[in-house]
Structure 1
Amino acid sequence: MRFVKLFFISVVIFAIVIFLISLMFPSRLVIERTGVINAPMSKVYTVANDLKGWRAWNPWMIADSVAVINFSEPASGTGAYYTWESTKPGGGSGKVTVSDSNPQKGIYYHMDFSSMKSVYSGLEMKPSTDGSGTAIHWYLETDLGWLPWWKFRGFMGDKLFGPQMEEGLNRLRTICEQP
């Protein structure tokens, strides 16, 4: 009986320690990448604004190329959206909705997932410092809340998703820099 009591006390103390450690982690996750595309801002905006064109450069649409994707009509501009249903086991489903689309600023969108926290994101654009290209800032932002497992997962967010974002920006650059 004493062993069982000690076991339960240890489990409770361990859970409290984990929770207290998680308080040191931020409850907001922001992942961001920047780059310069040697193409006019109007061209970069046109390519990035068309959700159907995201299949060519967005790393998450490429990774699950067999997902069932449905686009709104029109598939660009404020209010445009697409939904997906993965055919892979554990792939999930969700919806991406463009909340603001402005040729002078960029594209801002909201991602809702079936099994994850919502993500607010944007592709901010401005002329590069030399004026010959487009400076782009891609960010993902989500509120992780107070639960330790989300905060620990958020701690690894940049390492998990940052390289994919860099890959996506490189693909976007390749597409936009083509004559």
Structure 2
Amino acid sequence: MKFVKYFLLLIIVLVGLALIYVASFSGSYDISRSKVIEAPINHVFNTVNDIKTWEKWGPWHDEDSTIVVTYGEKTVGVGASDSWTSKDGPGKMETIAVVPNKSINQKISFADNDPGDIYWYFEEVSNGTKVTWGMKAKKSPFIFKFFAAMSGSWDNMLGPMEEKGLNNLEKVILETIPSQQE
């Protein structure tokens, strides 16, 4: 019986230490990934700028088949928006700034949490377009910090998702490059 008491006490102490660790884990992050896609900059930019294309390349759709997306009145450019529900809860995103063929800035929020920032940069390079996808926030809810802490870092949690998304984006773009007229 003593063993069970000490074992339960040990479990309580470990859970308490884990909660303290997660609570002290930084809620601030700025994670980005880049990829060169062998396609014209305007095609890459236009694909990302139209949020209706995100269902084709967004990495989260591969992992959660319960996502249901609803689009706002506008789906391209400043003011474009969507919202979704899934087994993990609701979310929404809105495009807040666009510089054609250069950058896109968006706000994203999950449930009632403070919004985070999504940013995209596009750069013409010799063999196509360098596209950078980043996400940042100054503070994050406890549950997000928990998942980041369990992953070891924000980079370990978000980086692979961005990489997968950029790889999916490349496939979609290469499949939809307009044919060149002679």
Work out which of the residue numbers 134, 137, 142 in structure 2 matches 1:142: 137
Identity %: 31
Q: Secondary structure at the match of 1:34?
A: strand
For the 8 Å contact 2:90–2:110, the answer to whether it is kept is yes
Amino acid of the structure 2 residue aligned with 1:109: Q
Q: State the 1:177 CA deviation.
A: 2.2
Q: What is the total number of aligned residue pairs between the two structures?
A: 160
Q: Secondary structure at the match of 2:73?
A: coil
Which shifted more, 39-48 or 169-178?
169-178
Compute the TM-score of the two structures, normalised by the length of structure 1: 0.75
| Correspondence 1:1-150 to 2 at 5 A | 18=20, 22=24, 26-86=26-86, 88=87, 91-114=88-111, 116-128=113-125, 130=126, 132-144=127-139
Q: State the 1:105 CA deviation.
A: 1.3
Amino acid of the structure 2 residue aligned with 1:51: I
Distance 1:27 1:85, change over 3 A: closer
Instruction: Report the equivalent of 1:3.
Output: none
Q: State the 1:42 CA deviation.
A: 0.2
Q: State the 1:104 CA deviation.
A: 2.8
Q: In structure 1, what is the Cα distance between the partners aligned to 2:163 and 2:102? A: 20
Q: In structure 2, what is the Cα distance between the partners aligned to 1:174 and 1:153? A: 29
Q: Secondary structure at the match of 1:104?
A: coil
Q: In structure 2, what is the Cα distance between the partners aligned to 1:68 and 1:164? A: 19
Q: In structure 1, what is the Cα distance between the partners aligned to 2:142 and 2:82? A: 31
Q: Which runs of 5+ in 1 are unaligned?
A: 1-6
Q: In structure 1, what is the Cα distance between the partners aligned to 2:76 and 2:62? A: 19
Amino acid of the structure 1 residue aligned with 2:60: W
Is 1:173 equivalent to 2:176 in the alignment? no
For the 8 Å contact 1:54–1:61, the answer to whether it is kept is no
Amino acid of the structure 2 residue aligned with 1:85: T
Q: State the 1:149 CA deviation.
A: 7.0
Q: In structure 1, what is the Cα distance between the partners aligned to 2:137 and 2:157? A: 15
Distance 1:121 1:170, change over 3 A: same
For the 8 Å contact 2:118–2:136, the answer to whether it is kept is yes
For the 8 Å contact 1:144–1:151, the answer to whether it is kept is no
For the 8 Å contact 2:37–2:170, the answer to whether it is kept is yes
Q: Which runs of 5+ in 2 are unaligned?
A: 1-8, 178-182
Amino acid of the structure 1 residue aligned with 2:137: T
For the 8 Å contact 1:78–1:98, the answer to whether it is kept is yes
Amino acid of the structure 2 residue aligned with 1:106: S
